[in-house]
Amino acid sequence: MDSDKEVTIYDLARKLNISIATVSRALKDDPVVSKKTKKKIADLALEMGYRSNNFARNLRTQRTNTIGVIIPRINSYFMSAVIAGMENVATSEGYNLIISQSSESVEKETANAVTLFNNRVDGLLVSLAYDTDSLTHFEPFIKKKIPLTFFDRTVDQKDSTCIQINNLKAAYEATTHLISQGRRRIVHITAPPKRNVYVDRLQGYKQALADQRIAFRQDYVIVGNLSQEAGADAAAHIRQMKPFPDAVFAANDNCAVACMLALKQMGVRIPEEIAFVGFNNDPVSTVVEPNLTTINYPGYEMGQVAARNLIDRLGGTSGIRPTNTIILRSELIIRESSIGQKTV
């Protein structure tokens, strides 16, 4: 046979002297075909280099069995956990994931959406970039009734589902914990307040202060991109503050740890002089000394729930309204970076 010619089920049937229907059923793992015959066909298919014609099948079914995923950053432990959860569910249901990264840019997010739409994904899972302020690039999906689910960084959108935690409550608990340890000059390191997660965490921080009759200070809110560099910059800024703050609540662990390390290098004792709470429960939180108090954000579970919800909608089995918001539980994990009374 010509090595450039694509092997078909007709070739397999002819070689084994069996019907085309039997070959087709065997390749679809139909229980009608015996295991012995299935193995014989599978072995020959592998030997001859047979490839399933997904393109033709997709034309017939109007499905590609692929789900598009747009995330802000791939180099994030939290997002890696989310993707692992999605992949676990998607693979078990016969779907593949096409993962793209916006790099915190609405322009790249828009280009990713166009590419995934043109690749005819069956559904789309999205966590929005920092600067996304319009959702027009998702309208083609909605018009085509392609299921759309937002997770983590979400926004209310017609005919879509949102998967998130109660960020306000989590931030409230983190700030209240610091206050319970005698801290009153609490700095909040966060990102630009365009995304729900950072708006809600700031609100939870403010509410905890108000409930304990501590005045909110705008100069105690440090806004950056929550990178390690931003954490080091925040430390330099905090070191110059007078009076010196006695606690930091950071909106992610990487930024919190970078800030902690920079202050330690400046001779600041943690938690004696300044206590720390982060967010996400990244592995780095248990490596840094002292271990970082943080909010456990269930990334793997979030990925599983997002994928399951989307696939259920694709199958028409979801009883959940598409505009529903699903709230997952989070948990404050107290470690050495925040416990004990401060010293002067």
Output the pLDDT for position 291.
Answer: 97
| Sheet of 123-126, strands arranged across | 96-101, 66-71, 123-126, 148-151, 160-165, 325-328
The overall pTM is greater than 0.75: yes
The span from the CA of 168 to the CA of 295, in Å, is 12
CA-to-CA separations, 147 to 139, 162, 271, 325, 329, in angstroms, rounded: 11, 12, 47, 14, 24
All domains of the chain in start order, with CATH: 9-52 (1.10.260), 65-165+299-328 (3.40.50.2300), 167-297 (3.40.50.2300)
- Residues 50, 98, 300, CA angle at the centre, nearest 5°? 120
| Residue that has been written with the tokens 């790249």 in this structure | 108
Output the pLDDT for position 26.
Answer: 86
Point out the residues of the chain with pLDDT beneath 50.
55, 59, 61, 320
The span from the CA of 232 to the CA of 222, in Å, is 12
Q: Count CB atoms within 10 A of the CB of residue 33.
A: 19
